[in-house]
Amino acid sequence: MENLTPQSILDGLGTQFVGQKIIHFPALDSTMEAAKREALWGAPAGTVIITEEQTAGRGRLQRTWVAPKGSLALSIILRPNIDYLPYLIMLASLSVTYSIQVVTGLKPQIKWPNDVMFNDKKVCGILIENDIRKNALKHSVIGIGINVNLRMADYPEIASRATSLSDLLGREVSRTALVRQLLIEIERLYLSLPRGESLIEQWKSHLATLGQIVRVNSGGKIYRGLAESVTSDGNLIIRQKDGHAIKIIAGDVTLR
């Protein structure tokens, strides 16, 4: 398997700022922690922290994230206008979707809010953490974990709900090509934010959740109903059996 060197990622990348500074570690507890440290020390927007292997990867809703050798685990520091915060989830999941499509030809779907999936199995998880002080956004860190070259049979604890690109394709995928495309897509979508381009429309068109009967766990409360729509800032609207609509800001969706 090829090594992920900053040089091979950067060579001819052609972005203005995303990925122009890459900090690579052979192993790390979590790229989120390293990225936050770098952000506080003043790392420029677009800085990427990437590792071959994560020993204490973190997921959404206080979960852990398995990222052994062969997967992609990285965090990107951004310093967006606070008004753009709701769009980062859309931007991140779309960038992963597009880059997988370009590099492998596979067409993933997005499960609300930002899991990238194939046939109900997760191939990528995204975690976004923001440092907001006195109503000002200091920085955002987008963490992305993609199961690239993993034999899921080696990970029986997650194999029923996760898949990998190599398992889907029956061959290995260049992680360098994937990360390069990912950085290009992130920058392209990020730069489109001020132009008010319809990120939401692109995101909706990839959301597998819409139109499905779902069960949502939101802060320990369970809601069931039809995933009817999303609001302009990305919240999920569930139409319950009694006709009442409920807005979900954060939660975990499973199909019924």
Residues in touch with ligand BTN (CB under 6 A): 30-32, 54, 57-60, 63, 65, 67, 73-75, 115, 125-127, 143-145
Q: From the CB of 87, what's the least distance to ligand BTN, in Å? A: 18
Q: From the CB of 75, what's the least distance to ligand BTN, in Å? A: 5
Task: Return the residue matching tokens 């995928």.
Answer: 173
Q: Mark out the alpha helices in the chain (DSSP H runs).
A: 6-10, 31-40, 85-104, 165-169, 175-192, 199-206
Q: From the CB of 134, what's the least distance to ligand BTN, in Å? A: 27
Task: Give the closest residue to 167 by CA, choosing from 106, 94, 96.
Answer: 106
Tokens of 161: 């709900």
Q: From the CB of 62, what's the least distance to ligand BTN, in Å? A: 9
Amino acid occupying residue 221: K
For residues 143 and 225, which CB has a smaller minimum distance to ligand BTN in the complex?
A: 143
End-to-end CA distance of the chain: 39
- Do 82 and 134 meet the contact criterion of CB atoms below 8 Å apart? no
Q: From the CB of 92, what's the least distance to ligand BTN, in Å? A: 10
Non-local (6+) Cβ contacts of 44 within 8 A are 17, 20, 21, 77
For residues 158 and 191, which CB has a smaller minimum distance to ligand BTN in the complex?
A: 158
Nearest to ligand BTN by Cβ — which residue? 125
For residues 25 and 223, which CB has a smaller minimum distance to ligand BTN in the complex?
A: 25
For residues 58 and 180, which CB has a smaller minimum distance to ligand BTN in the complex?
A: 58
For residues 146 and 210, which CB has a smaller minimum distance to ligand BTN in the complex?
A: 146
Tokens of 38: 């770098």
